[in-house]
Amino acid sequence: MKIKLLLLAALAPAIAAAQTPNFTISGKIGNLNKPAKIYLDYSAEGSGRTDSAELVNGTFKFSGNISGIASSRITLSREGIRDKEIYGTKGLGDVIYVYFGKENITITSADSLYNAKWTGSKVYNEMKAFEAQVGPTVMTVHHNANVTINRATPEQQKDTLYFKALDKQVQAFRKSRGEKMLGFAKANPNSYFALQALSELVGGYSTKPEVALPLFNKLSETLRLSYGGQTLYKLLNAHTVTALGASAPNFTQNDVNGKAVSLSDYKGKYVLVEFWASWCSPCRAESPNLLKQYAAFKDKGFEILGVSVDSDKAKWLEAIKKDGLTWPQISDLKGWDNEARKVYGISGVPANFLVSPEGKIIGSHLIGEALNKKLAELLN
């Protein structure tokens, strides 16, 4: 008994250390009270979490443990409805996307989260310095464009030339940011944001691996071996794995009933491997077209295998039911850390791969009419 007590006493400091938060984010935004809530969605090194806090006279506090640097989305809802603020405000929601580390951070603002001042975060300051060099994020550019549209006169909102001019500005900002991110990655191989720049270029700008890989190889060893670095490395090499004519990598995940399902189970059929998520609006918008194509071709040797990058099973099941999806659905419920997503090098959803009866990839990223045309060619 004495030995057991000694062991417990020795382990106590380690247990206490494991439970001690290594970051805090506290703040005050105006004098907001219930029902106002603030939401923190964050992930670091492949592990993610969602947290929320009610505002009391404008004050709130989050704390937790992270490994490395966390990417996050912070949402302030005066009604206490997170999804409405993110998806239902036509891009005008009080939502920000930021990075933070193992730090004690304070956020203060007289009116909104979007205009809040950050103190105590070296990572946040580095992020702002990065943005000062390469330009605002895509989310910020679109937010500002939506503000402009919201302020437009009724005549302007009916004018197609007005919208074309605004879109031209947005595309110019985006092009400029892409060019500057390449320069930043070249000049700052030890910066965490050089890795983020390359990840954004490959995932959001379709920068070719032959352009990004030499820059990736010049990053510091710490960055290359980090979770984000290894994820990007797989993505840079995925083009060979999922090239047209390549054998589709097999994978196995559980269906909605917990039964293991493999891609190889569908050999002998044309299979559309459809990566999606319940929270992805463009994915859900494609559901009616997929339903139409599935009904037209399922009796002609066509199948769809839905692969969800959700982490919340209840929301996954709810989306399947609400959209009326009738084809097989699988997920490992690891969210963006989904193993099949990593193997296939998916940088965003929706994304898909069309696999032949022989197990070869014969199409990719077929959305809307592009999918309809391809299936008609193969199966009519």
The arrangement of strands across the sheet holding 70-77 comes to: 47-54, 37-44, 70-77, 95-100
Q: Does the active-site annotation cover 280? A: no
Are residue 258 and residue 375 in the same domain, yes or no?
Answer: yes
Instruction: Kindly tell me the sign of the dihedral angle through the C-alpha atoms of 209, 212, 215, 216.
Output: negative
Q: What is the DSSP letter of 348?
A: S
Amino acid (one-letter) located at 124: Y
Do 323 and 298 lie in one domain? The reply is yes
**Residues 270, 304: Cα–Cα separation, whole Å:** 8
Domain of residue 213, residue span? 147-241
**Residue 183 and residue 218 in one domain:** yes
What is the arrangement of strands in the sheet containing 260-262, beginning at the earlier edge strand? 260-262, 252-255, 329-331, 302-308, 270-276, 351-355, 361-364
Predicted confidence at residue 16, as pLDDT, reads 43
10-residue mean pLDDT profile of the chain (380 residues): values are 47 54 96 96 86 96 94 94 85 92 97 94 97 91 87 89 89 92 97 95 82 95 93 82 91 97 96 94 92 95 96 94 96 90 84 95 91 93
Cα gap 279→282, rounded to integer Å: 9
Do 152 and 184 lie in a common domain?
Answer: yes
Helices (H), the chain: 2-19, 82-87, 122-134, 138-151, 154-157, 160-187, 192-204, 209-217, 221-225, 227-241, 281-297, 313-323, 339-344, 369-379
Residue corresponding to tokens 């037209």: 296
The C-alpha atoms of residue 263 and residue 248 are separated, in whole angstroms, by 9
Give the distance, in angstroms, between the CA of residue 123 and the centroid of all CA atoms in the same chain.
Answer: 20
Per the CB < 8 A criterion, the answer to whether 106 and 77 are in contact is no
CATH code of 286's domain:
3.40.30.10
Structural tokens at position 170: 């947005």
Q: Which of 32, 232, 235, 283 is catalytic?
A: 283
Alpha-carbon torsion angle 40, 44, 49, 53, nearest 10: -30
109 shares its domain with 38 = yes
What's the pLDDT at 61? 97
Relative to beta strand 351-355, strand 329-331 is unpaired
Q: What is the pLDDT of residue 178?
A: 93
In a domain, 321, yes or no: yes
The two structure tokens encoding residue 139: 């989310």
* Pair (261, 363) in one structural domain: yes
339 with 312, same domain: the answer is yes
Burial 60-84 (b: 16+ CB within 10 A, else e): bebeeebeebbbbbbbbbbebebee
293 in Cβ contact with 363 (< 8 Å): no
Would you state the pLDDT for residue 15?
A: 46
pTM (two decimals): 0.70
Task: Assign 3-state DSSP to the chain and report helix, strand, coil percentages, each to 5.
Answer: 45, 25, 30
Same domain, 113 and 225: no
The number of distinct structural domains making up the chain is 3
Single-letter residue type at 14: A
pLDDT at residue 241 in the model: 84
